Amino acid sequence: MTDLATHIQQIRVCDTHEHLRKENDWVQDGPKDVLSDLFQNYVPADLISAGATNDAVANLGSSDRDVAERFEEIGPAWSAIRHTGYGEAVRLLATELYGMPDDFGASDLVAAQSKLDGWRQAGGRRQLLEETAGLDHVQTDDFCWPCPPDASGPDFFFYDISWAGFCNGVVDAEALHAETGVTVTDLASLREAMAAIFDRHGPHAIAVKAQHAYSRTLRWQERSDAEAATILPQVLTDGDKAPADQRQILGDWCWARGVELAIEHNLPFKIHTGYYAGNDRMPVDRIRSGHLTPLLAKYLDCRFVLMHIAYPYSGELVALTKHYRNVYADLCWAWSIDPFSSADFVRRFLHAAPINKLFAFGGDTGWPTSAAAYAIQARRWLTRALQAEVDEGLLTEANAIAVASRVLHDNQMDVFNVEAKKRACLADAG
């Protein structure tokens, strides 16, 4: 093993994006058997694309049915997708965590059950992430506003303030009152409630996150108070049943207020760009990171983290990161979507954009086992990308090691002010 490969294997990696379930969820409601653990997360989408039925995929999580029967139902689709990024992650989980052969069968799945049972204990979640995956910390989008210190690891588990609902032009007055005590009736009280969310949760939050690209275009336009005020009453009455074009206007206004509050509270703003999870629902005209340029240009003091390398429009993201002082590119999830494109992205980025603006890993998973497998996958593909740079004489091995340190750890620690967040969460954990 080269010095570069050894370094990448040993470095503590900052995980910038997960949807990890909490400790109690993992212990009480985690995957019941190894088959359901292997084939949850994103690989069902590839199975369906390869021809597996919805019922066969759904049955993978039915631990009351025979393992061999459930596995056989997806057999042809699994053989077709085992070498995709998602399929590779399944095989890494099987081989590296469960100790099964690459061509595992039903008997292997049953024999490995004791390992899963051992992990699904108090503390097992952190052990998998910190020791097996080698992570420095994990940043989680919990799809909500609260970001209290996590009792199972206040200096390890961090949370984003979710802003997707606001960006979609949805204002849940009841939820806002419950969270902030503010009764939203007009634009002024909506501003007050938004500010209260940040005042309450900003000290512990690691970032702000919005994945509204699943529901609307990433195109942002500046909207006046007058425009937003006209639409708000209808949204308060009809919620997400209000006309989509009206909600988008209010969403743009709310989005901007979230960016302003992120600046005020010194929090990066993460935005989903590019590829959709799932099947049969991706309008590619609205997922490009280039749609964000009016927002990026207006709010130069905000640190925008554009996620998933905007796949498949990754070249556009390299250009944005090169051009805008406030844009950072995040490889979270991308290694499993398309590892070859991700490796190519790293190499193109190195020769076009500042290397202090690239983050190399986030699993985007729900269970710690998958996050650990995705971390292994990211390390291996990053090693391939940087070793190619060395082999072609573009970097020295020392240069490549320095790049690896930056993109796996140092850049994230700086941009997200991680050490300060660790201190704040530890101090308030009690």
Region 340-356 average pLDDT: 98
| pLDDT value of position 94 | 98
The long-range contacts involving 88-92, CB below 8 angstroms and separated by at least 24 positions, are 88/336, 88/339, 88/377, 89/41, 89/42, 89/43, 89/336, 89/370, 89/373, 89/374, 89/377, 90/38, 90/39, 90/43, 90/373, 92/373, 92/376, 92/377
Is the pLDDT at 233 greater than 90? The verdict is: yes
Q: Is pLDDT at 420 greater than 90 in this prediction?
A: yes
Helix H or strand E encompassing 138: strand 135-140
Q: Is the pLDDT of residue 430 over 80?
A: no
pLDDT of residue 63: 80
- Which residues are paired to 280 by β-bridges? none
Q: Are 103 and 75 in contact (CB under 8 A)?
A: no
Average confidence (pLDDT) over 158-181: 98
pLDDT per position as a tens digit, 55-82: 999 999 988 889 999 999 999 999 999 9
Strands (E), 299-407: 304-307, 327-330, 358-359
**Residues 30-41: pLDDT tens digits?**
999 999 999 999
- DSSP run (H or E) holding 162: strand 157-162
Cα(80)–Cα(92) distance, integer angstroms: 17
Average pLDDT for 191-209: 98
Question: Does residue 36 contact residue 63 with C-beta atoms inside 8 Å?
Answer: yes
* pLDDT tens profile 356-369: 999 999 999 999 99
The pLDDT assigned to 62 comes to 87
Share above pLDDT 90 across residues of the chain, in percent, rounded to a whole number: 97
pTM confidence score: 0.97
pLDDT digits (tens, 9 = 90+) for 89-116: 999 999 999 999 999 999 999 999 999 9
Answer yes or no: are the C-beta atoms of 403 and 357 closer than 8 Å.
no
In tens, the pLDDT along 389-417 reads 999 999 999 999 999 999 999 999 999 99
**What is the bridge-based pairing of β-strands 157-162 and 207-210?**
parallel
Average pLDDT, the chain: 97
Could you tell me what percentage of the chain is helix, strand and coil, using 3-state DSSP and rounding each to the nearest 5?
60, 10, 35
Handedness of CA 365, 367, 371, 373 (dihedral sign): negative
Question: Is 20 a residue whose pLDDT tops 80?
Answer: yes
Beta partners for residue 160, in sequence order: 207
CA angle 7, 308, 387 (to 5 degrees): 30
Instruction: List Cβ neighbours of 17 (8 Å cut-off, separation of 6 or more).
Output: 139, 140, 141, 270, 307, 330, 332, 333, 362, 363, 364
pLDDT greater than 90 at residue 240: no
pLDDT of residue 64: 83
